[in-house]
Amino acid sequence: MADGPFLDLRHLKMIRAIAEHGRVSDAAEALGVTSSALSHRIKEAERRLGLVLFTRMHKRLRMTPAAEYLAELAERVLAEMNRAERDVQRMDLGVEHVVRIAVEAYSSYHWLPGFTKYLRAHLPGIELQVMASVTREPVRALTNRHVDIIVTSGEAIPIGTHQIPLFKDELMFIFPPDHPLASRAFVEGEDIEGEDFITYTLTPEPDREFARLFRPSGRYPRWTATVELPEAIVELVAAGQGSSVLAGWAVRPAITAGRIFGARVGKEGIEVPWHALMRSEDSTSGPILEVGQVLAKWSALNGGFG
């Protein structure tokens, strides 16, 4: 192995860029350097480590296991560096800590103004930063330190995480207001057989409508679209282009406004628990735990996020 220091931040940024783009030219453009400069940087990193990081395959760079490991490390390290820079900048504003929060799958933040007001009153030195871009892979974003708290649903607790219970929320069948089922208090499996249905995931979950209503009844809607953004599903339903099942707290503003109609999923309904999920290392003390605890108190006072 070569003498001297190992990799620095330039090399970590290089590895992350190549992992994201795959080609030297594209990675170089993202980093604002020339392709030749980036190729030189690759050789320098391999010389310092004494091993091969990339092999060429059809004009693309294929990562070796060592490069894949370093790419994951780079993502965490650079995220921490970016956070540290932002935290230092906020110190002049009297902010002691910044806690980053995201919501699993949903981008409904009608509850946020009320919570931030409550948070400032109880933890004035903490600023909340919403990370809406991590909703597709929230647990990975949590473990990679891109986010500190995820508002998530279900019973499973991922390894290395800790959860604080927040509230229980009922799933809602949603229809356009003029739909024949829009007068029902609840909807059974046979009621929606053959109905156009829009979902944000085709992966059945054990505590949701597929496992607890569709499968037991043997009646299924007609899946017509997969739309990853629940808020877009609400718009499609409001326009009369199908029905769906979404979290009640997330769709309640649209129901209250009369844009869509909501009905219970089955006679008994389906209730789903929601939690504040954080890394285990943050579960004993510190600002992340404090924000999670305040969020639980606020949601208890308000009956959830609805």
Per-residue pLDDT tens over the stretch 166-206: 999 999 999 999 999 988 999 988 888 888 999 887 666 76
Indicate if 227 and 109 belong to the same structural domain: no
Inside any domain, residue 2: no
Q: Please give the Cα distance from 258 to 152 (Å, whole number).
A: 27
Q: Please give the Cα distance from 242 to 197 (Å, whole number).
A: 5
Per-residue confidence at 289, pLDDT binned at 50, 70, 90?
Answer: very high
Inside any domain, residue 140: yes
Give the pLDDT of residue 229: 87
Indicate if 158 and 182 belong to the same structural domain: no
Give the phi and the psi of residue 259 in degrees, each rounded to 5: -80, -30
Mean pLDDT across the stretch 18-22? 87
3-state secondary structure of 169: strand
Q: How many domains does the chain have?
A: 3
Inside any domain, residue 254: yes
Give the pLDDT confidence of 106-152 residue by residue, as tens digits. 888 999 999 999 999 999 889 898 988 777 788 888 988 889 999 99
Write down the pTM of the prediction. Answer: 0.69
Give the pLDDT of residue 248: 95
Inside any domain, residue 194: yes
Return the ∠ at Cα 139 (arms to 106 and 118), rounded to 5°: 55
SS3 breakdown of the chain: % helix, strand, coil, rounded to 5? Answer: 45, 25, 35
Inside any domain, residue 217: yes
Give the pLDDT of residue 12: 86
Inside any domain, residue 83: no
Residues 191/237, Cβ–Cβ less than 8 Å: no
Enter the tokens of residue 83. 């956070």
Give the pLDDT confidence of 44-62 residue by residue, as tens digits. 888 888 888 888 887 788 8
Indicate if 201 and 237 belong to the same structural domain: yes
Indicate if 279 and 158 belong to the same structural domain: yes
Its domain, for residue 172, covers 168-272
Indicate if 218 and 255 belong to the same structural domain: yes
Give the pLDDT confidence of 224-269 residue by residue, as tens digits. 888 888 999 999 999 999 999 999 999 999 999 999 999 999 998 9
Indicate if 152 and 212 belong to the same structural domain: no
Q: What is the DSSP letter of 51?
A: S
Indicate if 297 and 266 belong to the same structural domain: no
Indicate if 222 and 100 belong to the same structural domain: no
Give the pLDDT of residue 81: 78
Tell me, what CATH number does 150's domain have?
3.40.190.10
Give the pLDDT of residue 1: 42
Q: 186-189 long-range contacts, Cβ below 8 Å, gap at least 24?
A: 186/263, 186/264, 186/265, 186/266, 186/267, 186/269, 187/263, 187/264, 187/265, 187/266, 188/213, 188/217, 188/219, 188/266, 188/267, 189/213, 189/214, 189/216, 189/217, 189/218, 189/219, 189/220, 189/266
Indicate if 104 and 50 belong to the same structural domain: no
Indicate if 209 and 253 belong to the same structural domain: yes
Give the pLDDT confidence of 50-103 residue by residue, as tens digits. 888 888 887 788 888 888 888 888 888 887 777 777 666 665 555 678 899 999
Give the pLDDT of residue 278: 96
Inside any domain, residue 121: yes
Per-residue confidence at 304, pLDDT binned at 50, 70, 90?
Answer: very high
Q: Please give the Cα distance from 235 to 241 (Å, whole number).
A: 9
Indicate if 179 and 250 belong to the same structural domain: yes
Determine what percent of the chain is predicted with pLDDT higher than 70.
93
Indicate if 180 and 161 belong to the same structural domain: no
Inside any domain, residue 1: no
Give the DSSP H or E segment for 221: none
